Amino acid sequence: MKSIEDLKRIREEMQNKIKLRSEEGAETRVVVGMATCGIAAGARPVLAALVEEVGKRNLENVTVRQTGCIGVCRLEPIVEVFEPGKEKVTYVKMDAEKARRIIAEHIVNGHVVEEYTIGAAEGGANA
Amino acid sequence: MKELSLNVLDLVQNSIKAGADCVAVSITESVSSDLLTISITDDGCGMDEEFLRRVTDPFTTTRTTRRVGMGIPLFKMAAEMAGGSFEISSRKGEGTSLRAVFQLSHIDRPPLGDMAGTVAAIVQSSPEMKLIYELKTDEGAFTFSTEEIKEALGDVSLSEPEVVEWIREYVRENELALH
């Protein structure tokens, strides 16, 4: 069973990490659309998977954020990746598994997962 | 929406947009009276009477980028399809309160679903906001409050992945104990 006591341990661990983070600087933002359209299409498990992966892999300079309707409701759940000095990458029709792949391949290894991007979805036969 | 917990997540986003400092979500599940009641109360900016009158209309929204607003209409529809009812009250400058009642055993009532996931997502999006989540069943009651855990966390943000994961598990375990 989880208890409030666990939080004190997390607090101690985090305090060291926060120091590290402020020294490293520039951060990557991963943003999930969480308006009615995104939520109905399955954004909650996508968000949960992203948060879990970032935590598990101890990715210090990556933050997961939520935003409202991105504007292309039919392609939800949508995830946007903002890396310092790079062009924004928009991933569409996400699910938890695809989200985990984005963390592993794009965020960790630096390779954009082309097949999930809005360009691939809109340019392909399913457009 | 496949689960009512998704409607709750969506509706709390309205509270967040309304600038609420405190949101209370209360769910009462009673097999003995065959009712499921979900209520959400916030201290956000509220609505004036004219806006409140048309807020259940899907073509009402505060957004300026498009003209549809489905959150409240979908929730109202879910309640009415499950032999229940929906009510909303609000005062400009004071906040908004809404409540939906469902017939628990109704065949068209969507499942409540993953409330732990909803609580985790709300806290992750607005770590500064005070959130109180209360679940009552015939077996007992459970209350989760962000204020309680903020004390234990000190200056560590509630949106840290480790904390969000802990909240999800903590709420899930306590909910399971009530069923």
pLDDT along chain A (127 residues), means of 10: 89 78 78 96 97 93 93 95 95 98 97 95 63
Which conformational region is residue B178 in: left (phi greater than 0), alpha (psi within -120 to 50 degrees), or beta? Answer: alpha
> Which residue in this structure is represented by tokens 């409240």?
B72
Phi-psi region of B95 (alpha: psi -120 to 50; beta: other; left: phi over 0): left
Measured CA to CA, the distance from residue B129 to residue B21 in angstroms comes to 5
Q: Which residues of A are less than 8 Å from B173 in CB distance?
A: 1-2
Contact B63 A69 (CB under 8 A): yes
Judge if the upstream peptide bond of residue A84 is cis by omega within 30 degrees of 0: no
Question: Among partner residues B1, B71, B153, which is closest to A7 by beta-carbon distance?
Answer: B153
Q: Which residues of B touch A76 (CB under 8 A)?
A: none
Task: Give the separation between CA A85 and CA B107, rounded to whole angstroms.
Answer: 53
| Contact assessment for residue A82 and residue A102, using Cβ atoms and an 8 Å cutoff | no
**What contacts B53, CB < 8 A, 6 or more positions away?**
none
Whether A34 has its CB under 8 Å from any CB of chain B: the answer is yes
Task: Name the architecture of domain A25-123.
Answer: 3-Layer(aba) Sandwich (3.40)
- Asked if A71's CB is within 8 angstroms of B65's CB, the reply is yes
Inform me whether the pLDDT recorded for B7 exceeds 60: yes
Q: Are strands B22-30 and B130-137 parallel, antiparallel or unpaired?
A: parallel
- Helices A43-56, B161-176: axis angle to 10 degrees equals 120
- Domains of chain B in start order, with CATH, are 4-176 (3.30.565)
Q: Tokens 């966390």, residue?
A: B153
Min Cα separation B173/chain A (Å) = 7
Query: Per CB distance under 8 Å, which residues of B are interface residues toward A?
Result: 1-2, 6, 9-10, 13, 17, 63, 65-66, 69-71, 74, 114, 117-118, 120-121, 124-125, 148-149, 152-154, 156, 160-166, 168-170, 173
| H or E stretch at A39 | helix A36-41
- If pLDDT is split at 50, 70 and 90, which confidence band does B68 have? confident
- pLDDT (average), residues B58-64: 86
Q: Measure CB to CB from residue B156 to each of A1, A11, A55 and give the nearest one.
A: A11
Q: What is the pLDDT of residues B78-96, one digit of tens each?
A: 999 999 999 999 999 999 9
Closest CA to B23 of B158, B130, B98, B143: B130
Residues of chain B with pLDDT > 90: what percent? 87
User: Which residue ranges make up each domain of chain A?
Assistant: 25-123
- Tell me the pLDDT tens digit for each residue of B118-142: 999 999 999 999 999 999 999 999 9
Select from A6, A15, A37 the Cβ nearest to the Cβ of B166.
Answer: A6
Mutual angle of helices A43-56 and B115-125, in 10-degree steps: 70
Note the ipTM here. Answer: 0.90
Work out the pLDDT band at B57, boundaries 50, 70, 90: confident
C-beta neighbour count of B139 within 10 angstroms:
11
Residues of chain B with C-beta less than 8 angstroms from the C-beta of A8: 152
Question: Are B163 and A71 in contact (CB < 8 Å)?
Answer: no
From B26-40, B54-68, B106-120, B142-156, the region with the lowest mean pLDDT: B54-68
Is residue A11 within 8 A of residue B153, CB to CB? The reply is yes
